[in-house]
Structure 1
Amino acid sequence: MMIVLVVGSTGAGKTTYARKLAPDLPGVVYSIDNWMKSMFGADMPEDPQPEWFYENQQWYVQRIARCEKMITDLATQRAKVGQQSILDLGFSTEEHRKLFIDHFKDLDIPVSIHYLDVDVDERKRRVRNRNAVKGDTYVMTVDDSLFGYMEEIFESPTTSEGVEVHWVGE
């Protein structure tokens, strides 16, 4: 049993990667964007623009925390019965990853990071394409301002985080 944290900055392809990894691992994917859309999408504008997220940050962050709590509980239950989970929860900062790593390590559940290390220009291209196409991984429009903000806060994972890190290139 293993918990995989899928890590990468905006546009790295975390959700696509998690979905492809699932049958090979095998494991169940928990994607925060899908949870937020399913659980709270009816309470949000149909196609929320970045301004909506800035204006409603507290509301949004509270609901992300609720989803993450439930996802953590479900992944823990699965691990206890020998099933693996793939967590696609953003994990933009070491602090965020540490919360999950510590939780699972405290329960003797192995954790690894799969880090999607993708060039910034490629990620920008992917985000623009996702914004335009609005395919199955689209949840919200990511404009240049939001992309830039995420770039500023993103912290690449390192082995000093206490778990194995698998680097996944383009």
Structure 2
Amino acid sequence: MIATTMIHLLFGPQGAGKSTLARQLADQRQGVRFSIDDWMGELFAPDMPQPMNLPWILARVQRCEQRIWAVATDVVRRGGTAVLDVGCMQVADRARYAALASAQGLALRPHFVTAPLAVRRQRVLQRNQTRGDTFAFEVTPGMFTTMEGHFEPPDAAELAGCAVTETA
């Protein structure tokens, strides 16, 4: 393992505060932040089919994640810190990142970010209106509901290895 460098992997449901925490971690550690929302917003949001098509979105998320991982690991190998705000909605996604880091001898610290459903829904609606620092593209109520059903919460074993942040 590389002791002085680290990949911080943030995960949690939409609106939990992942992007805000990612910015804080990157600032505190002078790290490079990689946000899937930024990548998806710039590269694919203008072409997003209506109504939302989850397989279309997930295929593009996968492409972005592959490129993010390649650049993030390069940052870490060069002595830096990478903060990945890539969602990791499912257990298999998180396990895949852990396996990749392990296979490459890179330290990985998972961070589970969570908040109550009503708080998260309100944050997303507010973010759509204010279009502040963490806004990348509009998340419609339908998109929120679809992605909510897609998220797999961590079990006790997965949580044991995580930094947990509950926002309110």
Are the counterparts in 1 of residues 41 and 137 from structure 2 also a CA contact under 8 Å?
A: no
The CA deviation string for residues 27-64 of structure 1, in whole angstroms up to 9 with x for no partner, is 110001111223335x526xx8xx4432xx44433322
Q: What SS does structure 1 have at the residue aligned with 2:134?
A: coil
Among 11, 15, 25, which residue is 2:29 paired with? 25
Are the counterparts in 2 of residues 5 and 113 from structure 1 also a CA contact under 8 Å?
A: yes
> 2-side partners of 1:163 and 1:81: how far apart?
29
The CA deviation string for residues 69-104 of structure 1, in whole angstroms up to 9 with x for no partner, is 111111111221221101011111111111111101
Q: What SS does structure 2 have at the residue aligned with 1:168?
A: strand
How has the CA–CA distance of structure 1 residues 162 and 100 changed in structure 2, closer, same or farther, with 3 Å as cutoff?
A: farther
How has the CA–CA distance of structure 1 residues 100 and 117 changed in structure 2, closer, same or farther, with 3 Å as cutoff?
A: same
- What's the counterpart of residue 5 of structure 1? 9
Are the counterparts in 1 of residues 9 and 108 from structure 2 also a CA contact under 8 Å?
A: yes
Unaligned 5+ segments in structure 2 are none
1:64 and 2:68 aligned: no
Q: How far apart are residue 126 of structure 1 and its match? A: 0.6
How has the CA–CA distance of structure 1 residues 148 and 60 changed in structure 2, closer, same or farther, with 3 Å as cutoff?
A: closer
Among 37, 40, 46, which residue is 2:44 paired with? 40
Q: How many residues align?
A: 163
Q: What SS does structure 2 have at the residue aligned with 1:130?
A: helix
Unaligned 5+ segments in structure 1 are none
TM-score by length of 2: 0.85
> 1-side partners of 2:145 and 2:60: how far apart?
23
- What's the counterpart of residue 154 of structure 1? 151
Q: What SS does structure 1 have at the residue aligned with 2:15?
A: coil
- RMSD (Å), alpha carbons: 2.2
159-168 or 89-98, larger mean C-alpha shift: 159-168
Q: What SS does structure 1 have at the residue aligned with 2:139?
A: coil
Residue type at the aligned position of 2:135: Y
How has the CA–CA distance of structure 1 residues 169 and 112 changed in structure 2, closer, same or farther, with 3 Å as cutoff?
A: same
Seq. identity, %: 32
Among 93, 107, 110, which residue is 2:104 paired with? 107
- What's the counterpart of residue 53 of structure 1? 52
